[in-house]
Amino acid sequence: MQPRLIPTHVPASPEGVVLVLHGGAARQAQMAVSPAQLSVLRMIPVARRIARGGGARLATYRLLNSVRGWDAEHTPTNDVAWALEQVRASYAGLPVCLVGHSLGGRAALVAGEQDGVRSVVALNPWLYPTDSASLAGRRVLFVHGDEDRIAPISRAVKVARRLARTTEVGFITVPGGKHAMLAQGRVFEKAAADFAVATLLGAPAGAGGATGGPGRGLVDRVLAGEEWITA
């Protein structure tokens, strides 16, 4: 079982790369990931929104993990490390944004300390309150629904505050948002796209920005320092 990189958008001369990481709990020991499982399919619109926002300036890939879940023998961070090696080989020197949901959000945060990663987006990340990483110099965004019963927002807040001791961490709470990001899907997708574009390209996230969103959005407020979480 090998991980795979699935291209969403590969422009000729990108200025940055986004890796989109899916979640999905284990069903049995070392069970292979299916491209048709819901946690994988849910990241397709996220990747497409990022691709639209980045246009010709960002390459966007989805990572298909080698196995489901997170155990002592193999975690999704191993697959992220493999994916980053592929990115460095193909796009030497370009900055990377990791965007992950659920266990993919956890993997993005833990693997975010690796070389080349400039920013991390964790969408409803499934975390232990003790999770941490050395993310100094990166920019980090949590987007979490306040009705998530699978990955409690309280855990995410604890981890975000710990990370905020050493780096800039934004936290967007999505009222009514549940774990699958369906009812409020556009909020999650737009926040991920806006943050990736802004942190990799330096482009404004709101009016007139690369994502073309009207008005001053959630990510604009994060980047202006209004939604940073404190340690």
Asked whether residue 88 is assigned to any structural domain, the reply reads: yes
Q: Is the pLDDT of residue 172 over 90?
A: yes
Of 1-15, 28-42, 63-77, 82-96, where does mean pLDDT reach its minimum? 28-42
**Mean pLDDT of all residues in 41-54:** 95
- Give the pLDDT score at 210: 42
Q: Would residue 231 count as lying in a domain? A: no
| Average pLDDT for 170-197 | 94
Q: State the pLDDT at residue 21.
A: 96
pLDDT number for residue 207: 35
pTM listed for this prediction: 0.91
Give whichever of 59-68, 197-206, 215-224 has the largest mean pLDDT. Answer: 59-68
- Return d(Cα 121, Cα 9) in angstroms, integer: 19
229 lies in some domain? no
* Least confident residue range of 15-24, 28-37, 215-224: 28-37
Buried b (16+ CB within 10 A) or exposed e, 183-219: ebbebbbbbbbbbbbbbbbebbbbeebbbebeeebbb
CATH of the domain at 17: 3.40.50.1820
> Above 80 in pLDDT, residue 78?
yes
Q: What is the pLDDT of residue 28?
A: 58
pLDDT digits (tens, 9 = 90+) for 150-171: 999 999 999 999 999 999 999 9
How confident is the model over 105-126, as a mean pLDDT? 96
Residue 144 has a CB neighbour count (10 Å cut-off) of 26
- Rounded to whole angstroms, how far apart are CA atoms 113 and 101? 18
Residue 133, domain extent? 4-223
Count the domains in the chain.
Answer: 1
On whether residue 18 sits in a domain, the answer given is yes
What are the DSSP calls for the chain, one per residue? ---EEEEEE--SS-SEEEEEE-----SSTTPBPPTTSHHHHTHHHHHHHHHHHHGGGEEEEEEE-SBSS--SS--HHHHHHHHHHHHHHHSTT--EEEEEETHHHHHHHHHTTSTTEEEEEEES----TT-----TT-EEEEEEETT-SSS-HHHHHHHHHHHTTTSEEEEEEETT--TT--TTHHHHHHHHHHHHHHHHH---SSTTSTT---SS-HHHHHHTTSSBPP-
Q: How confident is the model over 201-228, as a mean pLDDT?
A: 64
Is residue 25 scored above 90 in pLDDT?
A: no
Q: Is the pLDDT of residue 211 over 60?
A: no
Within-domain flag for 230:
no
Question: What is the Cα 127 distance to its own chain's centre?
Answer: 14
Residue 35 belongs to some domain of the structure:
yes
Whole-number pLDDT of residue 205: 53
Q: Is residue 228 part of a domain?
A: no
Mean local confidence (pLDDT), 9-16: 97
Task: Among 45-49, 71-75, 211-215, name the most confident range.
Answer: 45-49
Mean pLDDT of 135-151: 95
pLDDT at residue 37 in the model: 78
Residue at 170 is within a domain: yes
Per-residue pLDDT at 72: 66
Q: What are phi and psi of 44, to 5 degrees?
A: -60, -50
